[in-house]
Amino acid sequence: MTRQYLIGELSVRLEQLESVAADGEAGDVARLRQEVENGGTHGLGPAAVEAIELADALCWRSLARGDVAAFCRQAGISAELRLFGVCGRLLPDG
């Protein structure tokens, strides 16, 4: 995979995560997406880790609010983020 492809795919997944974030929670995801799109390719690994951490936090907050539907959407995107990160060699497998 080319680095430009990895940037584009990570950006798409962050956009999906941003779209399922509750009001007031999307700002961090939007910031990270902008960093991925405008930054160099050397920071993709750390960005993928941060994306997983943000997705995890969103999931926990949704559960705390009792919003099961939001949790399910966020968990699905989180799983896709992790799979993409592992397959793109941005995250360790395991």
Reading the block at residue 72, the tokens are 């399910």
Neighbours of 48 (CB within 10 A): 25
Dist. CA 56–CA 13, nearest whole Å: 14
**pTM here?**
0.90
Q: What is the pLDDT of residues 36-62, one digit of tens each?
A: 999 877 789 999 999 999 999 999 999
**Residue 1 — pLDDT band, cuts 50, 70, 90?**
low
Residue 71 in domain: yes
Dist. CA 57–CA 53, nearest whole Å: 6
Q: Are 70 and 20 in contact (CB under 8 A)?
A: yes
Domain count, the chain: 1
Residue 68 in domain: yes
Dist. CA 67–CA 92, nearest whole Å: 30
